[in-house]
Structure 1
């Protein structure tokens, strides 16, 4: 299909403020349908879960619907969808549960490409359990994460490999399927951070070989909700900390406290929105998601290509990383300006970008930029158009 970005932009009330919203890698705006779904849940009235009255039944239905929606988005099953406030909190929860079965002499393998949310919870859990942490390094200056290194890093003592499906600053998309195959051959499990990847391309957790796949709805036009998707039998084997009175069954036993029911109504609406980005897509919601996200990928890659060519033409701009496969994300510096100064210059021209390490803690240290303000990040998603890219390039040229 020919991606109609004007049609898509009309769904988003926030985009009418004449700003160029190029900060999507830190969180997207939401369409009117998501706003309506959240407001509608409150308007109808919701009660706590598993009660005998209609408002409680509405909450139960909202939770079930959100599980189905996330499963349709990434290719899991509803019974394997754990919901929570954000990916970081859920990863800490899973790290604690996994570490309960680790013993001194065991190993885990982490990546210096990853957001710290897929690093620090595992490092801290390993430290408490006396488990060795092994590191997959980033190839510099390209920003690639070579999969071949995992052949030596993963051994018969490896219990878990945590890796990102896409870097949140460089956009690098490692060969997760190959990394997972190496891990599985040694009997290890994989925990894949899909937060940055999910908004940019069709996702299938089975094709990635991800035993657990983490994602955040606020990165794909939903509310601030996190989810981890896994096989139900794997969840059944893990024992998280929980209240004695909380449900014993998975996935509920991983969900501490009361879920935000109205926001979960927004999660389902967000997946429905993504499934409708290709108006010609037909079939199940899962089929429509795959078709729409393929169209999103093509649109974003075209805009990214234009952005990268424009940045390369500016002699004072240095693009960081040149991975072969990347999401529509650019991380760069401007000679003679700090990243914050660049961001402030752009903000004064109604262009939203991010600056700093963006929680890519290990990566920015490896790049040697973490202590100097790191860099500026521009992130494109499906609602960004060519005019916004041109505005960014013109504002950078002024510098």
Structure 2
């Protein structure tokens, strides 16, 4: 493994501003190659997809390249890669489509660990057709998700679960959940938005029927991605315009795709594939090596932060699951976390405080809708960033 964080950081124009970024879970900074790809698409001949003009061929090539790139990142079939405005929008569309086949007596399962984008679309869709919603809880002391099996039955149609909590970092055992869900004859929807930025992903190995993520969390532009088996997508018939394609995956993509954002998405995946320069082979193999290198880089930084926070008076880390991402939720006995957010911002350290749309999780932790201070590491976080953060937090609590 050869991971040069100093060289990596030089590829991020935004880092020249001197801000220590611990806000990656809300959206990463973007490398020069991604910005260049977006600009290149917008400043080259571009038109609606087709095969006649150069602009049409360029658009078609951008879409095909982006599907292949995301398939390599996720271990998925490029024919099952769907693009949309956001993960939230894609999930709402999918929920409405699936719910068309549900009715009274059918059940779905959502968790209190999830971001609301993998809760509310399913709750609303179930409510519209009279289906029952069952809630899977987690232990607020450990952050561990409860066993899904007791909630499953022959009436279960879908289980929606996060691959990693965007608030406290918990990584449930998705493969084990998938086995239980499939044994009950149900489908599994996995929110991979947070997890995809931190480690290798293999959608097939996880057993996810649907896996959604957001490129802007892993160095790319603002759009959403849904991965599924194309054979499964063939069985679904979303509402669409009459003239639009009925082919898979196009039938799930409403309107004209944002070609410049897809070009940036491909560039982000290619950039990630090069994070371990020693890795060889095809892009999928290089991505597996590079994302493993990301995890190895972030882990000791996370431990440094946790060890330091353990010695600060009145400070608690609420991210305690045995398997978790390098994302820490921090609470204070005698301080408002919003004050910590503002204090750190004054030191040019970005570490926001909120519930970050994980309302059910925040409420279950006893933090209400306000949440608390979240510290998220990224592939470009270095020891100097961590030094600045720890010094700032120590000064904030008067240690």
- TM-score under structure 1 length normalisation: 0.98
- Distance in 2 (alpha carbons) for counterparts of 1:140 and 1:363: 9
Deviations 1:331-366 (A, max 9, x none): 012232222111000000000012111011111111
Residue aligning to 1:126 = 126
Q: Which runs of 5+ in 1 are unaligned?
A: none
Residue aligning to 2:279 = 281
SS, match of residue 374 in structure 2? strand
Deviations 1:26-56 (A, max 9, x none): 0001100001111111121211122631101
- Distance in 1 (alpha carbons) for counterparts of 2:291 and 2:393: 30
Residue aligning to 2:87 = 87
Q: Are 1:150 and 2:137 an aligned pair?
A: no
Residue aligning to 1:163 = 161
Residue aligning to 1:334 = 332
Q: Are 1:388 and 2:389 an aligned pair?
A: no
Residue aligning to 1:75 = 75
Structure 2 contact 3–277 (Cα < 8 Å) conserved = no
- Distance in 2 (alpha carbons) for counterparts of 1:240 and 1:339: 43
C-alpha displacement of 1:2: 4.1
Mean Cα displacement is larger for which, 287-296 or 308-317? 308-317
Structure 1 contact 141–321 (Cα < 8 Å) conserved = no
Structure 1 contact 319–333 (Cα < 8 Å) conserved = yes
- Distance in 1 (alpha carbons) for counterparts of 2:246 and 2:98: 17
- Distance in 2 (alpha carbons) for counterparts of 1:3 and 1:57: 37
- Distance in 2 (alpha carbons) for counterparts of 1:12 and 1:208: 32
Q: Among residues 348, 370, 375, which one is paired with 2:372 in the alignment?
A: 375
Residue aligning to 1:42 = 42
Q: Among residues 189, 192, 215, which one is paired with 1:191 in the alignment?
A: 189
Deviations 1:214-252 (A, max 9, x none): 010000000001100000011111111111111111110
SS, match of residue 244 in structure 1? coil
Residue aligning to 2:208 = 210
Structure 2 contact 45–54 (Cα < 8 Å) conserved = no
Structure 2 contact 319–327 (Cα < 8 Å) conserved = no
Structure 1 contact 242–256 (Cα < 8 Å) conserved = yes
Residue aligning to 2:113 = 113
**Please, what is the CA RMSD of the aligned residues?**
0.9
- Distance in 2 (alpha carbons) for counterparts of 1:245 and 1:355: 46
Residue aligning to 1:59 = 59
- Distance in 2 (alpha carbons) for counterparts of 1:275 and 1:321: 29
- Distance in 1 (alpha carbons) for counterparts of 2:374 and 2:330: 7
SS, match of residue 133 in structure 2? strand
Structure 1 contact 26–354 (Cα < 8 Å) conserved = no
Mean Cα displacement is larger for which, 149-158 or 346-355? 149-158
- TM-score under structure 2 length normalisation: 0.98
Structure 2 contact 167–361 (Cα < 8 Å) conserved = no
Across the two proteins, how many residue pairs are aligned to each other?
A: 396
Residue aligning to 1:28 = 28
- Distance in 2 (alpha carbons) for counterparts of 1:3 and 1:311: 27
C-alpha displacement of 1:310: 1.0
- Distance in 2 (alpha carbons) for counterparts of 1:134 and 1:177: 20
SS, match of residue 114 in structure 1? coil
C-alpha displacement of 1:299: 0.6
- Distance in 1 (alpha carbons) for counterparts of 2:314 and 2:148: 37
- Distance in 2 (alpha carbons) for counterparts of 1:337 and 1:45: 55
- Distance in 1 (alpha carbons) for counterparts of 2:335 and 2:241: 51
C-alpha displacement of 1:137: 0.3
Q: Are 1:246 and 2:244 an aligned pair?
A: yes
Q: Which runs of 5+ in 2 are unaligned?
A: none
Structure 1 contact 88–117 (Cα < 8 Å) conserved = yes
